[in-house]
Structure 1
Amino acid sequence: MINVLFINICIIVTFLYFSGVLSKRYSIGMSSNSLPVQINSGILFGIYGIVLMLYTIPVGSNTYADLRHLFPVVIGTYIGPVPAIISAIIIGIGRMMLYGFTSSGIVACIGIIVVGIICAIISRYPLSRFHKINLMNILSMIVILITLMINIKDVPTVMSFYPIQLGIAIIGGLFVYAITEYIYSTNKLFVQLEQRATTDHLTQLNNLRAFELAIKTHLAHANERGENLSLLVIDIDHFKKINDTYGHSSGDVVLKSIGKILIDYSRSFDVVSRNGGEEFTVLLLDCPHHHALVIAEKIRVGVQNHTFILPDQIFVSITISIGVATYPDTVATPSGHALVDMADKALYEAKRTGRNKVCTLELQTMK
């Protein structure tokens, strides 16, 4: 029995590692996990539980012992109540499909669903993950003891193996917790590094790398779907003067404030980036040229009317110049380089003719 339960733990650890590889894009345990992620996680861990039942120990008439309950426990601790219940239901159904729709199977199915409900309830309590996983594990083993008593109806027989199962379940739970915490921390670090690689550290907007990926992706989509893609290239007028007069910390305040204004005046699905220094960009998705000019003017006026508060309560006014280009209205070629080049030329024209204005150029094609 000990050998089989040890194999159970090895299988669980293998599945957890596999899940960690699959979930690199999600920082598990965070409130941002979407409903599809929760549902998919519950289904996956339910399947894991069914697979684990292939390595189980007969302890009575159509009654088996294993550590399948640890899957709802783990997923309930790290993802939440929804996947805990989903995984438990799948494991319960799998139990009856594997070993028959008998009275013992129905009791075992109800038992694991009760385990899922318990895990779902505990997952909502403000406890540490360590306390959650251990409390879920112990309460689950109590439920399992009750189901064994109902199915076997012989206390000495149950007590001949249950203490071993309980001990291995508790030790296995601690081991699984340690492994899952390691996977959790490495995945969280991966997500943080990925965000830093595509996020401007000062404004928390997209950086140049993220912008280049976005314009390539959205330009291809616009070309395939016959949509417009507009680009605003924005430069802060006389920004060097702010740094020279008030210091770089004041310049940072201005950059952060400009970033917030751009977010406020753009649509929720537009791509706002800081491309470096005092240059910002806004990718306006499915936006025709005339509408892009309207949005650009609103941004310009919004910056002009905003009072920037620098350190030491110094109040200054800032203006910006904006160059606008649109595929295919002013740039016929579906090229990110061509779109940026046209917007840059329009920005240069805005700065050359007095700054604090929005400029655009006529349609050009790449030669």
Structure 2
Amino acid sequence: MYKDLISNIAIMISCLAVTGQLTRIKPMDTSIMTKIVGGIAAGLLGSLLMLFSVKIENNVIIDFRNLAVIIATLYGGLPSGLAAGALIICNRFAFFGVNPSSLTASFVIIVIILLTSYLKKSKATLFTKFLLANLCNVLLFAIAITFLVKNADLRMSLLLYYGVFSLVGGCLSAWVCDFINRSNENYRKLKVSATKDFLTGLNNVRQFDETWNNKVSSAIQTGEPLSLLVIDIDYFKLINDKYGHPDGDRILKQLGELLADAAGNTGIAARNGGEEFSIILPGMTKTGAKAVAETVRKRVQEHAFSLSGDKEINITVSVGVASYPETTNEIGQLIKQADECLYRAKNLGRNRVCAEAV
């Protein structure tokens, strides 16, 4: 018996490792659809465990399918638990028929889903929630076996084996789940930090370079226009000196939100470093790019930037615009030309848009 239960634990951990790779990019609880898909995966795991179950008298089988239900409910909530439970119950009837044992097992699964869903809302650690849900699972198993198995010696043997292996295997599975979950979270954070600016959430300079090279190649191949805005906050050093760097960071973060909104779905906004930002505008002509730049300038000028202590200030930006092929036929010179236009805007008095280099 113990060999079959160990096989159940090995199968569960192997499936959890595979599932962890599938949820590496997007966690299971991001949407109702991912929750249901995660629940179905757990249901398939529970059904697989039933195929390696220990066969007892009167159509009674024991395995760790309930642990799969607990995991699904703790990570995906009630939708995941219900999806997993429904699939396991259907397969229980399909594999072993409708009988008192399968009806009792189905009832136990429903109770476990509801109890685990309630535990999920508590502030306890995930491991504690799993342990409590597993203890409830063992208790329900004991009650069910008391009614289904008449042989007292066999009943005690089942309770001992299932209780010990369920708690040990459950704790091991919980540890594996927690390890995979933390590893995936760290992976997602590192992936974001590799492409996004930590303060504004815009693309960082590395991602700007990659995106810019792709858009340049596309423009060369298709002949479509490509425009670039380079944006710089006017007198930002004086703002930092007067209000301090923490408030300076608040301004940068709020400006990032304005630029992301101005870029819309077609533009790509980035922070190139310090107080300098850019917006790539694929397929946009010089006229359209100047209109976007002017929109940015006006929104910044009219926006009240919040500082600490309920203070607000107004700032301005200067914007340089370059467009291929209108302002230059050499697409490799767009960035240089946009920078030159930015410097000209500053030399002409700041708080303005310039699309003509010196």
**Counterpart amino acid of residue 131 in structure 1:** T
Does 2:345 align with 1:359? no
State whether residues 46 and 88 of structure 2, in contact with CA within 8 Å, keep that contact through their aligned partners in structure 1.
yes
Alignment of 1:251-270 (within 5 A): 251-263=248-260, 265=262, 267=264
Alignment of 1:15-26 (within 5 A): 15-26=15-26
Secondary structure of the residue aligned to 2:297 is helix
Does 2:275 align with 1:278? yes
Cα RMSD, aligned residues only: 3.9
State whether residues 47 and 92 of structure 2, in contact with CA within 8 Å, keep that contact through their aligned partners in structure 1.
yes
1:3-46 per-position Cα deviation (integer Å, ceiling 9, x unaligned): 22122122222222222222222456xxx622232222112121
Alignment of 1:62-101 (within 5 A): 62-101=59-98
Alignment match, 1:5:
5
Secondary structure of the residue aligned to 1:79 is helix
Secondary structure of the residue aligned to 2:269 is strand
**Counterpart amino acid of residue 120 in structure 1:** S
Alignment of 1:309-348 (within 5 A): 317-324=314-321, 340=335, 343-344=338-339, 346-348=341-343
CA drift of 1:192 comes to 2.2
Which of 287, 293, 297 aligns to 1:296? It is 293
State whether residues 27 and 191 of structure 1, in contact with CA within 8 Å, keep that contact through their aligned partners in structure 2.
no
CA drift of 1:312 comes to 9.5
**Counterpart amino acid of residue 355 in structure 1:** R
Tell me the percent identity: 33
Secondary structure of the residue aligned to 1:53 is helix
Pair 1:269–1:179, CA change in 2 (3 A): farther
Alignment match, 1:173:
170
Alignment of 1:135-146 (within 5 A): 135-146=132-143
Pair 1:313–1:177, CA change in 2 (3 A): closer
Task: Measure the CA separation in 1 of the matches of 2:73 and 2:60.
Answer: 25
**Counterpart amino acid of residue 86 in structure 2:** I
Task: Measure the CA separation in 2 of the matches of 1:54 and 1:228.
Answer: 61
Task: Measure the CA separation in 1 of the matches of 2:152 and 2:324.
Answer: 77
TM-score with structure 1 length normalisation? 0.78
Task: Measure the CA separation in 2 of the matches of 1:309 and 1:98.
Answer: 64
State whether residues 42 and 75 of structure 1, in contact with CA within 8 Å, keep that contact through their aligned partners in structure 2.
yes
**Counterpart amino acid of residue 70 in structure 1:** L
CA drift of 1:71 comes to 0.9
Secondary structure of the residue aligned to 1:80 is helix
Deviates further, 96-105 or 337-346: 337-346
Pair 1:284–1:53, CA change in 2 (3 A): farther
Task: Measure the CA separation in 2 of the matches of 1:180 and 1:236.
Answer: 47
Deviates further, 148-157 or 217-226: 217-226
Task: Measure the CA separation in 2 of the matches of 1:21 and 1:169.
Answer: 25
Secondary structure of the residue aligned to 1:282 is strand
Task: Measure the CA separation in 1 of the matches of 2:283 and 2:146.
Answer: 64
Task: Measure the CA separation in 2 of the matches of 1:217 and 1:316.
Answer: 38
Task: Measure the CA separation in 2 of the matches of 1:103 and 1:228.
Answer: 72
Task: Measure the CA separation in 2 of the matches of 1:163 and 1:17.
Answer: 28
Figure out how many residues of one structure are paired with residues of the other and give that number. Answer: 357
Alignment match, 1:164:
161
Task: Measure the CA separation in 1 of the matches of 2:321 and 2:40.
Answer: 48
Task: Measure the CA separation in 1 of the matches of 2:335 and 2:102.
Answer: 65
Secondary structure of the residue aligned to 1:323 is strand
TM-score with structure 2 length normalisation? 0.80
Pair 1:245–1:139, CA change in 2 (3 A): closer
Deviates further, 252-261 or 88-97: 252-261
Alignment match, 2:345:
350
CA drift of 1:87 comes to 1.4
Task: Measure the CA separation in 2 of the matches of 1:319 and 1:280.
Answer: 13
Task: Measure the CA separation in 1 of the matches of 2:14 and 2:185.
Answer: 20
**Counterpart amino acid of residue 2 in structure 1:** Y
Gaps of 5+ in 1: 363-367
Alignment match, 2:302:
305
CA drift of 1:59 comes to 1.1
Task: Measure the CA separation in 2 of the matches of 1:19 and 1:253.
Answer: 40
**Counterpart amino acid of residue 185 in structure 1:** R
Task: Measure the CA separation in 2 of the matches of 1:315 and 1:106.
Answer: 66
Alignment match, 1:365:
none
State whether residues 85 and 117 of structure 1, in contact with CA within 8 Å, keep that contact through their aligned partners in structure 2.
no
Deviates further, 53-62 or 221-230: 221-230
Gaps of 5+ in 2: none
State whether residues 127 and 175 of structure 2, in contact with CA within 8 Å, keep that contact through their aligned partners in structure 1.
no
